[in-house]
Structure 1
C-alpha cells in the first residue's frame, strides 16, 4: 500500500494527497503533519514501535468537503486519490488513482465559493521581444471567461490586481511585481514551456471552443492572449482529469465599450471593500445589493467593475430600472419569485461535470418550478386598480421593448421540470450510492426492487399463509438462519403430511425444515434486492444526469435572463428605498448635479442627517479647486461625484434630485493617505506614484478626483507639486479633463482667473461663539482659512496644546504679513531653532501674470447657477437664510479675491 501511495504522491509533489482507504481519506508523512496542523485534527502514527515511524491522519469520506474547503482557503492544492475498482472484485490491492486535483481557482462546490462573487483562475503571458502580453481570466464554476491584450506590462498587472484571480498562472521565469505578494492572488509558476506554447495553446483553444480559427473569437493578431487562454485550458484539464467543453464562448474585454475604473479607484471609492479591507456596510456594493439570486449578484459585481461607456446599453438598462421603479407591486412579486431560484449557472456546471450531488438536482427542480411564477408576474396586465384589462392590455401591447423581447424568448423548461418531478424524491440522501433517490412509479424494475426491500416481510408472510391454506397445515412456520436462509418448519409428527413440492433442507431432533421453489425464488430476490436496487438507482441517476446535461444551453439562457431582471430590480429597489432619480447622459463633458448625496454615507447616517450639495462643471469650470477644513466634507463631495458618474453609466438611478452627466471613459482617484512599507514605499511615494499614473493616462473624457496632493512632504515642496499638477491637468487634452481638486493650499485659489477653466469652491463653515459650525455645503469661492487648530480641539487634543498652537499660528501669520520673514519669526517663536535663511525664490509666473478674466463674487456665481424654474418658496427662503449666514455680515477681507497673491505660501496648511 505504501508503495502505491508513494508512487502516486511522486506525481503530485505540490498537493496534499488524500488517499482513500475504506471510509476515510488518509494522509501520510509530511502531508499528514501539514494537514493535522492546518485542520486541527489528531496526528497519529502507523507502525509506532518500528524504526520508521509514519505520521498519519485522516478525515471521513462523507464529510471531506468541509476539510477541503479549509485547505483551499489557506492556499493549498488537494489531490483526491480514489479507488477505481470494486473492492469485492479486486485481486490483491485495490487500484487507486487521482481523480481530481482541487485548487482555489478551479473549485465548483458551493462550500468553496462566494455565492454572489466570481472565482477567477487567471493566466498572464508577457513577451519581452514583442513588448506585448495577454491576461485571461476564467470562472470555472460558471464557464464564463474573458481577457485582454496590452502593450505595457504594467497595464496587465494593473488588471490582475483589479480582477483578483484566486490563482494566476505565469511562466517559470516571469517577472512578478513585488506588490503581488500583498494581494490574495496565489501566483503559480507553470513548469516548462508547453502550457504557454503558441501552437499547442491554439489547438487547445480551437478544440475547446469548437471553431476553426482564432479570429472567430476576436483573437486574431493577439498571440500572447491566445497563449494565456491555452495555459488556462491546460491547467484545468490537468486538475480536473477530463476534457473541458462546458466553457462559454471566449469574449475579449472591449475596453472601448466600458468605463475603466482601475483598482486604486475601486479601493478609494470603497466600491467592494472599505479602506480597512473589509466587506459589508460602508461599501457601495452593500448599498446596491438587493439581488435575490447569485446570478444577479454576480452581474451586479460585473457591472460595478465594468460600467458602460456606450449610450445604448445605458439607456436600455435605465428603461428597465425605470419600469420596475414605478411598479412597486410588480417589483415586490418579482423579488418573491426570484427568491425561489437557486444558482442555475453553477448547478448546471456541476451536473455537466458529473460533480453534482442529488440535492443539486432537487435545487434545479425547485428553480425550474419558479420560472412560471416569475413569468406570470411579468405578464400581468397593467390596468387601473379594480378594472378589467382591455384586449390590448391583455396582449401586453403597452409593455416596454425589453420586456417584450424577454417574454418572447422565455423558456419554462417544463419538460425537464416534469422529468425531475417524476424522478426524484423531495429529500434525497447525500450520496448517490446510498439509494433512496427515486420516486415510486418512475421505473418499473426499480419499483419491484423497492417493493421487495420495503415490503419483503409482508411477501414472506403472504406466501406462508398461502402454503398453510393450500396444504392444510395451520402449524407451518417460517424461519431464517445465516446458513440455510429462509425455510418452512414442521414438527416431526406433522412432517409426514408435507406436500410433494416441499424439499427437505434440515432435520432437527423435534422438527423438519423445508424449502419450496417459490420460497427459494423469493429468497434470492430479497437477498439481492438491496444491492440490485442501489446499482440500478446509480445507473438511472447517471442516465438522468446525461439527460439533464443536454439542457445546459437552455438553462444558461434562462439564468442569463433572470440575472438581468434581478440586476434591474435590485437597482430599482435601491432607487426606491433611497429616493434616487434617473440621470440624463450626454456626449459632452459637462456635469450638473443638484442635491447630490454620497450613497454610502447617507446609508450609514440616514437621509435626515446628510446635507446634499450642488455641483456644476462646464467649459468655464473644468477644474474645481475645493478648499475647506478637515472634517468639512471635501472628500465626501469628491467621492460622491465619482460614484454618481459610475452609477449613471451602469444604467442605475443616482442619489440626486437632478443629474445631467457627460459620459466618461475613465475615472481616476487619488484620495486618502496610505503607505506600502513592505515594499519600501512611503505615504508620499504612494501618493506620487498614483498621481503620476493619472497624469500619464488621463484623457479628454476622463474624470479625475484628487485630494490633498503634496501633503506628504514639506509645505513649499507640496505647494509647488500641487500647483504644477493643477497647471498640467488644466492644460492636458485641450483643457477638457474634468477634475475635482481638494486642497489645503489656499495659495492655489489665486489661479482662478489666471488659468482657464479653474474655478474655486469651498465647503462652507462659520464661527459662532468661539466654536466652528460645519455647514457641509459646497459653495463658490475660496475658504478663508484651514481651521486646523479648531478641528484638533474637536478631536480632543489637550487644551494647553491647542492654546500654544494658536499662539504660534498668530506669530507665523504676523511673519507672513511681514513679507517673507517666516523663518526669522519661527526662530523667535521657537528658541534654539537654527536654520539657514532661504534664498528668495522666484514667484510662479502664473501668480505674477495679469488675470485673464475677472473673478466674480461667489454670490453672483451662485445666482447664475440657480434653477429658478424649479425653486419652491420654501427653498428660496432656505437659500436666502444660507446666503445671509455666508455673506450677509459686515464686509470682510475674505469676501473679495485679492489681485495680488500672499507673500509667503502655505503657512496655514494643516
Structure 2
C-alpha cells in the first residue's frame, strides 16, 4: 500500500508495528484482533485460519486474518508454544467517546517465557526466562533466571564462562537473554527455542540494573539481597528486569525476594549427568516413563511437583536438611492411613502460587478465584491431620514448624464463598459472577434484572390496595413504556400522584414517579448490573491481591507437605528403605536396585546387587559382557545417592552413604555431528570436564572410556584415567568404571584403592545366561560373540567369528602376529562369500577330488556326486529344485 493511499487506520497500525518489528501485532478492531501484511500470512499459516484481504479488488490489497477477542487466549497459546512473540494492541479509549480514530497502544508483549495463562504453562514445571552476562575484562560472568508466572528468581556468578553456559542448559529457559555481539556457543543455540539479544549498554548497564533491582525488591541496598560485590550477576538480573518491564508494560512488584543459588549447599549435577542418568528425560529426549521423575512424582499439587523438580535438580549437600526431610518422609511412610488422608486432602488443591500471581498482576479470570476458594478450603483438613499427629506425639520437627505458623486463610475463604457463585462465567464483563446477598446495591440490580416482572406485579398489587381500585391494570407499549390503566368510569377516582399519559375511548392511562423509576431501573438494570459486577470484581481482586504474601506462604507449606507425601508414597509403593548418611565417603549398598528399570520390568524380574565402596575400595573396575547390566549398576548407584540427598528413601534393602558434592556421569555413546564432534570426541570432552572439575567428595561414573579409537590408544587412555583418579586428592576419588579392557583388571593390587568386580554370566548349552549379579573379581571373557548370537546375527557369521577368535587366541598364546592369521582363515572352505582374497581363489581345487581310500564302486558314486555339485549353479536353483537334487543324490548314494 503506497504512502499516498494509507488510510488513518493503517497509518496507526504501521506506526505501532514499527515499534515491535519482531512480534506479531494483534490489533484490536471491535470484537476481533486483526493481523495485516506479513503478520497475517504467518498467523494464518501457524494457526490454520483463513487468510483474507482488505480491499481485495484494489491494487492496495492487504493480506489480513483475525481471531475473536473472547477466544484469543487459545490462539495466543499456540503461537507462544511455537516460539513467537505477540504484541497485544488494545483500544485505550472508549469508542463511544472517541473523536475520529480510536486511540490504540500495545498494552503488553507476550513471549514464551513471560506467559501466565494456565493453558500455556506446564503445571509441574517452571517456565524460566534467563539472562547471561559475561565480562571478558574481569573474566567473570553472571547467570540469572526468573519464573514470571510465580515470581521466583535466582542466579549466581562464576569465573568460568563454560560453567555459565552449562547451567543455562541445565535450567532450560524458554528464552535466553544475552547482550548484542556476545557469541553464543553452538551447542547452546541448538537447545533453546529462542535466544534474545538485547542492546548491551541499556539493559545490562550496572547503575540502571542496580536501580531496577532495588525498585523491584523495595530495598535501598543490594547487600540485603546478597548481591553486593557481584556486578556481573547484577547486570544479568538487570537484563531480566529490563526485558520483563519492556514486554509486560508494568513494574515487577510481584517478584519474590531474590534467592542467590549457593552452589556450596547443593549436590551439583551438570546437564550431561542429568541427561545420562535420565532424571527428567530419556536419552531419546522424551519425558514420562523411563525417567526417575516419573517414578518418584507422586505429588498431588502443581506446587509440590515444581518443588520435586527443584529438589531433583539441586539436591542438598548438607546432612541437616536431608535428615529433617527424611524424618518427615518416614513419618508419612509408616502410617498408610494418614498418608492416604493427606493425599486426598491435597487432591483438590489447584495452583495457589500461579493463581494468586495472576490475580496480583490483574490477569485473573473468575476461574482463578474459584480455584483459589477450593484450594484454601482444603487447608483446615490438612491442618487437622497435622494437629492429630502432634497430639499423638508423632509429628516430625519440619512438620511441627509448619503447623506453628499455619494460616487457614479462613477470612478469604469466607469472603470468596459469600461473593462468587459456584460456576461463574469465564468473562468478567458480562455479569453473573456474584451471589445474592453479597452487596445490597447489587441485590436490587439482580432482582430487577432477573425478577423484573415480579417487581412490577408487587407494585401493581400495592397500588390496588392503596387506591382501592381493583380494576387497576399495568400495561406496556413501545411509545409510552409502562403505564397504569383505569376504565373511563373509574378514572376520576385516580389519586393525584397518578399523572395522565394517554386517553382512550374506554380507558385512561397514567404513570407515577415510582413506576417511572422502576421502569428506568428495569431498562438499565442489565447494563448497570454488568458495570457494577465488574467494579465489584476489581475491588475483590485488589482485596485478595493485597494478601498475596499469605497465599504464597501457604502455597510453600502445601508444596512441602506434598513433597513429603510423594516421597513417602514412592517409598511404600516401591518398597524402598531409609538411607543412613555418614560424614565419610563410603557407598555401601545392600540389595540395591535401579528404580526406573525395576519399575519398567517389575520387582520380580529385577536382580538386586550389593555395592561396597570405602577408603580401601575407591575405584571399582566393573567388567562383563554387554547386556549383562554394567551400566545399570553404575546408574543405580548414582540414582540412589541422588534420591538420598533429596531426602528420599532409596531402592535398596540397606544403604550407608557418604554425601557427595558432585556427581559426574560419562555413560553411553553419542555424537554431535552438527558441530563436527564424533562419538569419541564427545566422550573425551565429557571425560576432560570430569577430570578438571571433580573433587574429593565427588562420585564419578565412567562407562567404556577409550572405545572410540584403536585398541591400544583406548586402553592407554583408560589406564591413565584410572591412574589419575586414584591419585587425585591424595587418596583417590569414588569412581565406578565399567570397561571391556580386561588389561585394566591387573591394576588391582598395583594401585591402592582399585578393586575388580564383574557381572556374572553362566554358559549353558553353547549359550550364555545373564545372572545380573555383581560379584568380586574380573570377568574371564567378554562373551561378545555370544551376545551377537543373542542379538540375532546370522549363524554363519557367528561361526566365522568363533573361528577367527580361536585362531587369534592361539596365535596370541604362541606370541605370533595376528596378521598372518587372516590369509589362512580367509582361504579356508568356511570363508564367507566374497571375503576370500582374489589372489588365492585358484588355490581351491578345480577338479573333483579323488577318493582312493574307499571301495572302487563307492568311489565312483562319490565322484559322480562331486561332479554334480561342482557343476550345479546353486544361486539359480529354486528351493524345490535344490530339494529334488538332494533327494536324487541321496538315493544314488543309498542304492550302492
TM-score by length of 2: 0.89
Structure 2 equivalent of residue 890 of structure 1: none
CA displacement at 1:469 relative to structure 2: 5.2
**Structure 1 residues 205, 617: closer, same or farther in 2, change over 3 A?**
same
Pairwise mapping of residues 703-742 of structure 1 onto structure 2 (< 5 A)?
703-742=699-738
Structure 2 equivalent of residue 754 of structure 1: 750
Q: Is the 8 A contact 1:330 1:378 kept in 2?
A: no
CA displacement at 1:420 relative to structure 2: 1.1
Structure 2 equivalent of residue 5 of structure 1: 13
Structure 2 equivalent of residue 439 of structure 1: 435
Pairwise mapping of residues 46-85 of structure 1 onto structure 2 (< 5 A)?
46-85=54-93
The separation in 2 between residues aligned to 1:558 and 1:740, in whole angstroms, is 43
Q: Is the 8 A contact 1:667 1:702 kept in 2?
A: yes
Of 547-556 and 132-141, more deviation after overlay is shown by: 547-556
| Partner-residue secondary structure (3-state), 2:617 | coil
**Structure 1 residues 510, 82: closer, same or farther in 2, change over 3 A?**
farther
CA displacement at 1:513 relative to structure 2: 4.2
Pairwise mapping of residues 610-759 of structure 1 onto structure 2 (< 5 A)?
610-759=606-755
Structure 2 equivalent of residue 551 of structure 1: 547
The separation in 1 between residues aligned to 2:824 and 2:508, in whole angstroms, is 125
Larger radius of gyration: 2
The separation in 2 between residues aligned to 1:508 and 1:151, in whole angstroms, is 97
| Partner-residue secondary structure (3-state), 1:355 | coil
Counting matched residue pairs gives 822
| Partner-residue secondary structure (3-state), 2:315 | coil
The separation in 2 between residues aligned to 1:722 and 1:736, in whole angstroms, is 16
Q: Is the 8 A contact 2:324 2:397 kept in 1?
A: no
Residues 1:573 and 2:569 aligned together: yes
Structure 1 equivalent of residue 538 of structure 2: 542
CA displacement at 1:500 relative to structure 2: 4.0
Of 501-510 and 280-289, more deviation after overlay is shown by: 501-510
Structure 1 equivalent of residue 156 of structure 2: 148
Pairwise mapping of residues 287-298 of structure 1 onto structure 2 (< 5 A)?
287-298=295-306
The separation in 1 between residues aligned to 2:497 and 2:615, in whole angstroms, is 109
CA displacement at 1:714 relative to structure 2: 1.8
Match of 2:145 among 137, 141, 144: 137
Structure 1 equivalent of residue 590 of structure 2: 594
Structure 2 equivalent of residue 488 of structure 1: 484
CA displacement at 1:816 relative to structure 2: 1.8
Structure 2 equivalent of residue 27 of structure 1: 35
The separation in 1 between residues aligned to 2:453 and 2:825, in whole angstroms, is 105
CA displacement at 1:463 relative to structure 2: 2.5
CA displacement at 1:459 relative to structure 2: 1.4
CA displacement at 1:343 relative to structure 2: 0.9
CA displacement at 1:820 relative to structure 2: 4.9
The separation in 2 between residues aligned to 1:520 and 1:216, in whole angstroms, is 65
Question: 1:317-339: per-residue Cα shift (whole Å, max 9, x none)?
Answer: 11111111111111110111111
| Partner-residue secondary structure (3-state), 1:331 | helix
Of 795-804 and 304-313, more deviation after overlay is shown by: 795-804
CA displacement at 1:456 relative to structure 2: 1.0
Pairwise mapping of residues 264-303 of structure 1 onto structure 2 (< 5 A)?
264-303=272-311
The separation in 1 between residues aligned to 2:468 and 2:677, in whole angstroms, is 101
Question: 1:16-44: per-residue Cα shift (whole Å, max 9, x none)?
Answer: 11111222111111111100000011111
Question: 1:550-601: per-residue Cα shift (whole Å, max 9, x none)?
Answer: 2111111111111111111111111111111111111111111111000000
Of 396-405 and 57-66, more deviation after overlay is shown by: 396-405
The separation in 2 between residues aligned to 1:215 and 1:97, in whole angstroms, is 38
CA displacement at 1:507 relative to structure 2: 5.5
Pairwise mapping of residues 186-225 of structure 1 onto structure 2 (< 5 A)?
186-225=194-233
The separation in 2 between residues aligned to 1:510 and 1:4, in whole angstroms, is 63
Residues 1:233 and 2:229 aligned together: no
Of 442-451 and 85-94, more deviation after overlay is shown by: 85-94
Structure 1 equivalent of residue 518 of structure 2: 522
The separation in 2 between residues aligned to 1:830 and 1:650, in whole angstroms, is 58
Structure 1 equivalent of residue 831 of structure 2: none
Residues 1:247 and 2:255 aligned together: yes
Question: 1:461-497: per-residue Cα shift (whole Å, max 9, x none)?
Answer: 2323444555566555433344432233457787666
Residues 1:113 and 2:109 aligned together: no
Residues 1:805 and 2:813 aligned together: no
The separation in 1 between residues aligned to 2:606 and 2:649, in whole angstroms, is 18
**Structure 1 residues 6, 729: closer, same or farther in 2, change over 3 A?**
same
Structure 1 equivalent of residue 851 of structure 2: none
CA displacement at 1:677 relative to structure 2: 1.3
Of 112-121 and 749-758, more deviation after overlay is shown by: 749-758
Structure 1 equivalent of residue 426 of structure 2: 430
Q: Is the 8 A contact 2:362 2:541 kept in 1?
A: yes
Of 410-419 and 815-824, more deviation after overlay is shown by: 815-824
Q: Is the 8 A contact 1:506 1:512 kept in 2?
A: yes
Q: Is the 8 A contact 1:164 1:185 kept in 2?
A: no
| Partner-residue secondary structure (3-state), 1:205 | helix
The separation in 2 between residues aligned to 1:639 and 1:239, in whole angstroms, is 43
| Partner-residue secondary structure (3-state), 1:168 | strand
The separation in 2 between residues aligned to 1:26 and 1:331, in whole angstroms, is 52
The separation in 2 between residues aligned to 1:180 and 1:6, in whole angstroms, is 35
CA displacement at 1:98 relative to structure 2: 1.3
Structure 1 equivalent of residue 891 of structure 2: none
Structure 2 equivalent of residue 822 of structure 1: 818
Structure 2 equivalent of residue 888 of structure 1: none
| Partner-residue secondary structure (3-state), 1:125 | strand
The separation in 1 between residues aligned to 2:602 and 2:65, in whole angstroms, is 53
Q: Is the 8 A contact 1:701 1:736 kept in 2?
A: no
Structure 2 equivalent of residue 879 of structure 1: none
Question: 1:244-292: per-residue Cα shift (whole Å, max 9, x none)?
Answer: 1111111111111100000000000000000000000000000000011
Of 666-675 and 725-734, more deviation after overlay is shown by: 725-734
CA displacement at 1:699 relative to structure 2: 1.0
Match of 2:782 among 767, 783, 786: 786
The separation in 1 between residues aligned to 2:819 and 2:727, in whole angstroms, is 34
The separation in 2 between residues aligned to 1:737 and 1:139, in whole angstroms, is 37
Structure 2 equivalent of residue 898 of structure 1: none
Q: Is the 8 A contact 1:812 1:826 kept in 2?
A: no
- Structure 1: give runs of 5+ residues left out of the alignment: 382-392, 835-910
CA displacement at 1:197 relative to structure 2: 0.2
Structure 2 equivalent of residue 501 of structure 1: 497
Q: Is the 8 A contact 2:386 2:395 kept in 1?
A: no
The separation in 1 between residues aligned to 2:258 and 2:816, in whole angstroms, is 65
Question: 1:616-639: per-residue Cα shift (whole Å, max 9, x none)?
Answer: 111221111101001100000000
Structure 2 equivalent of residue 182 of structure 1: 190
CA displacement at 1:189 relative to structure 2: 0.4
TM-score by length of 1: 0.88
Q: What CA RMSD, in Å, does the superposition of the two structures yield over aligned residues?
A: 1.8
Q: Is the 8 A contact 2:723 2:751 kept in 1?
A: yes
The separation in 1 between residues aligned to 2:680 and 2:234, in whole angstroms, is 39
Structure 2 equivalent of residue 349 of structure 1: 357
The separation in 2 between residues aligned to 1:820 and 1:752, in whole angstroms, is 28
Question: 1:200-234: per-residue Cα shift (whole Å, max 9, x none)?
Answer: 00010011112222122111211000001111111
| Partner-residue secondary structure (3-state), 1:699 | coil
The separation in 2 between residues aligned to 1:583 and 1:472, in whole angstroms, is 91
The separation in 2 between residues aligned to 1:746 and 1:377, in whole angstroms, is 58
Question: 1:419-456: per-residue Cα shift (whole Å, max 9, x none)?
Answer: 11111111111111111111111111111111111111
**Structure 1 residues 24, 727: closer, same or farther in 2, change over 3 A?**
same
